Amino acid sequence: MATNAAEASGLASHFPGCERRRSATSSELRAGPGALRHLRQRGLRPGDVCCVPAAAGGPKGLALLPLDRMLWREGWLPDGASLELIGASVGAWRMAALAQPDPLAALDRVQHAYVHGQCYSTRPGPTEVSLACRQIARAARGAGPLQVRPGVALGIVTARARGPLHDRASKLAFGRAVVSNAISRRRLAGYLERVVFHGGERPSLLDGAAAFDDFGLVNVALTDDNAEDALLASGTIPLLASPVRNIVGAPDGNYWDGALVDYHLLLPYPRLTGHGGRIVFYPHFNDYVTPGWLDKHLPWRKAPRAHAWLDDVLLVSPSAGFLKTLPNGKLPDRRDFYRYGPDHAGRIRAWETAIAECDRFAEAVLRWMERPDPTLVKPI
């Protein structure tokens, strides 16, 4: 019996059905009708991928680092290809690393800073949390200017406070935003504005100033002077961390976690896929897409199915059965800071083990991509 990923891969090369079973048991594969039609008619090649979104989600995003690495190593994100990488929070840090000329080194920096650099005191205040997150943002940027390799358009999603939240960071102010969001996302837009920082090639997904929803759209160029602050802002959780103020080149104000507006990045992907027959490849830690961070506790908004913007999206995520094999039977998450408390070594060990185990998930996905079987794909 195969005892590790390498042996399992070798076994699958002789018995393709074995590989399909491994993909089915370790991953969830979902697609919109356009992406499923693409798989049936054309299969899947690296040039077919036009965009890789990266959701916010805190430590859960660590599970996708092995797949990020394998996508690069196995040629699915080739140099010079026209590709958009866009993310919020931990997803922004992953995509900033993946966009660089040496993405493997950058992803290693992000992993080390995220896992080892968040050893907080018993009751950390916003300043302590912000300092730790700045180190992660700095690791994602790398030494010197943030470099984006040719052919890649990088987008970092942030949320700028406006209206009742302008220049306020109180529990009462954010409580009102939560209540407004429960009524409608349109009401939440009175509190927050979408600001996206772009580096590399000119973006197509969020090009120009044309807003596609009530949160608006402000595009700002990533520069040496604002890259670190933009990356920090994208992962700045309200009340747990201090706001990032007045980012160079962007409208003045307090900047917060991009997840407040775009948690799982439900964006108008048809702007990219409508003309070239390409798809959006979405590695995710859930098998559904939740619009905003505040929507995750609202059942009627948590998992919208058959959304028109997801028509050409192929989404891959770890299966429930696979998650049970990880430490504590789940992905790393923010609750682990409380679960382990001052036992930082225990948390680090659990997180590093989970990341290493996710190599199996990543390899199964890559093997499926090489020989995609549409019969294993469910509707998104």
User: With 80 as the cut, is the pLDDT of residue 9 above it?
Assistant: no
Mean pLDDT of 35-51: 95
Return the ∠ at Cα 336 (arms to 332 and 337), rounded to 5°.
Answer: 130
Q: Which residues pair with 152 in a beta bridge?
A: 83
106 to each of 273, 284, 293, 359, how far by Cα in Å?
A: 29, 20, 26, 18
Torsion angle, alpha carbons of 118, 112, 9, 332, to 10: 10
Q: pLDDT at residue 303 above 90?
A: no
Q: Give the count of beta carbons closer than 10 Å to the beta carbon of residue 297.
A: 11
Q: What are the residues whose beta carbons fall under 8 Å from the beta carbon of 375, sequence distance 6 or more?
A: none
Q: Stretch 226-247: mean pLDDT, rounded?
A: 97
Specify the number of domains making up the chain. 1
Report the C-alpha gap between 102 and 312 in whole angstroms: 29
Query: DSSP labels for 69-128?
Result: HHHHHTTSS-TT--EEEEEETHHHHHHHHHTSSSHHHHHHHHHHHHHHS----SS--HHH
Report pLDDT digits (tens) over 47-89: 999 999 999 999 999 999 999 999 999 999 988 779 999 999 9
User: How many residues does this entry show for the chain?
Assistant: 380
Q: What is the pLDDT of residue 79?
A: 80
Segment 87-140, tens digit of pLDDT: 999 999 999 999 999 999 999 999 999 999 999 999 999 999 999 999 999 999
Residue 319 domain boundaries: 5-379
Task: Enter the pTM of the model.
Answer: 0.92
CATH of the domain at 38: 3.40.1090
User: Contact at 8 Å (CB) between 59 and 118?
Assistant: no
Instruction: Please state, in angstroms and rounded to a whole number, the distance separating the CA atoms of residues 75 and 87.
Output: 21
Output Rg (C-alpha) for the chain, integer angstroms.
20
- Specify the higher pLDDT residue, 126 or 12: 126
- Residue 31 · residue 311 · CB < 8 Å: no
Please report, rounded to a whole number, the percentage of residues in the chain having pLDDT higher than 70. Answer: 92
